[in-house]
Amino acid sequence: MNVTRGFTGRPRVVNAGLPPGQYDAGDDWPVLSAEVTPDLAPADWTFRVDGLVEAPRTWDWDEAHALPGSAYEGDIHCVTSWSKFGVRFGGVSLDAFFDVVRPRPSATHVLAYSHTGYTTNLPLADLTGGRAWIAWEYGGKPLAAEHGGPARLLVPHLYFWKSAKWIAGLRLLDQDEPGFWEQNGYHARGNPWQEQRYSGD
Amino acid sequence: MTENLASGTRPETRFAVPGRIAVSNRAAAVWQTATLTEIRRETPHAATFRFATPAWAGHLPGQHLMLRLTAGDGYTAQRHYSIASAPDDAGHIELTLDHVDGGEVSGWFHTVARPGDEVEVRGPLSGFFAWPGDRPALLIGAGSGVVPLMSMVRHRRARGLDVPLRLLVSARGPQELIYAREYGAETTPVFTRSAPEGAPVGRLDAGHVAPLFADGPAGGWEAYVCGSNAFAEHASRLLVEAGQPVDRIRIERYG
């Protein structure tokens, strides 16, 4: 252990929900995106799921909203080391989309991409079983553009760069393909509990 | 089933690390010791911390690192910071940190740290915001958002590059302008609250940006914006309105 002289840190928060290396951002919700926030109206938003699926499909705003609604209440964790507790997102579980397109048995990974061109990769297993959403509400209100509105991917059990803002689609693949930050040295999976921040962690 | 799912089937994307920038993924995984050698006050709220980093593999202007402090009971705090120094400053890196109210890490730096202290760093991280010095660069920063941009300015100066580079830097007033004594003809300061005698007071606006496009380089600019989220939103909108393509605007936001 490499102790820093004179460093005591904040009073320790006893919070079992805080992954290693994270701190509680409280009411703050930092905005971290490398691109210009797009001017994307709900009427122009579409969401496509294709690749290794039986029935590729594109949903528009109304069609996506016609699927059964689903909410996430819990915590989110950013690789830049803040965590945010007790947030509430509303949207639709990805399971509802997968039920329609029917992933093929050979599908193992997903490349998520945004209307801005941002990409991020995930194992398919991280997006099924009620653990991932297309989210368009935050705290009961429409999701703000700077936080990915009108709609973003939400995968709260992984670092938040995986939860692609302005989500445009998912491509199911039989291999892992690094996305934008992953090509920049970030970890392929990004599990906050294992501190999978950077390639090699 | 694999033949039609090679990388050729990636979604169309204009948003990516420039191919000309090589990112080392390996260096980012390793923590190394950085020894504080010097502290320079920049403004009442910001100071530059110079470190000896003998194991540092080098960086590109605009990259950042992760810094870790460890308390006696094993508690750690880690933060991302942009690198202020030019790559040519071999064996050393400099960070310029604001003293954040109640800031756990910046508070330690501003009130406890002294030369000889050791911290841990890993990096450099992310090539997206990097500028290797090969294309005209239009830099817009506010407050401590000027830090990664200054690495670019210093790099251009240290290498004697003649590729066009312009810096618009916004500060509340002359006392808050980080690196004030280092700016040259490439820089236009914008003062939002108080300005030196004869200089205007006001927010960065289209009038600051327009001349850089009226008289811009053939082939256009690579634009780099760094600052608070509110500033980044404002500045990037001004750039888009001035005709800068969105896929040639790179943004680093603070909170």
Q: According to the model, what pLDDT value does residue A1 have?
A: 81
Phi, psi of B178 (to 5 degrees): -70, 140
DSSP A62: H
Give the residue carrying structure tokens 């910046």. Answer: B106
Residue type, position A140, single letter: G
The span from the CA of B166 to the CA of B171, in Å, is 16
Q: Is B233 on the interface with A (CB under 8 A)?
A: yes
Q: What is the pLDDT of residues A143-153, one digit of tens each?
A: 999 999 999 99
Is the minimum CB–CB distance between B147 and chain A shorter than 8 Å?
no
B14 contacts chain A (CB < 8 A): yes
Contact assignment for A198 to B253 by CB distance below 8 Å: no
| Cα A135 from Cα A147, distance rounded (Å) | 11
User: Residue B6: its pLDDT value, please?
Assistant: 41
Q: Please give the distance of CA B40 from its chain centroid, rounded to a whole number.
A: 18
More confident residue, A80 or B204: B204
A31–B253 CB contact, under 8 Å: yes
Q: What is the CA radius of gyration of chain B?
A: 19
A9–B104 CB contact, under 8 Å = yes
Q: What is the pLDDT of residue A184?
A: 83
Binary contact (A117, B5; C-beta < 8 A):
no
Contact of B25 with chain A, judged by CB distance below 8 Å, is answered with: yes
Contact A21 B78 (CB under 8 A): yes
Which residues in chain A have Cβ-Cβ distances shorter than 8 Å to B33?
2
Look up the pTM and report it.
0.92
Let me know: does A15 contact A24? Beta carbons within 8 Å.
Answer: yes
Q: Name every chain B residue with its beta carbon within 8 A of the beta carbon of A38.
A: 246
Contact A171, A110 (CB under 8 A): yes
List the beta bridge partners of residue B94.
B50
pLDDT digits 0-9 by tens, B236-248? 999 999 999 999 9
Judge whether B185 and B221 are in contact, CB under 8 Å: no
Q: How far is B227 from chain A (nearest CA, A)?
A: 11
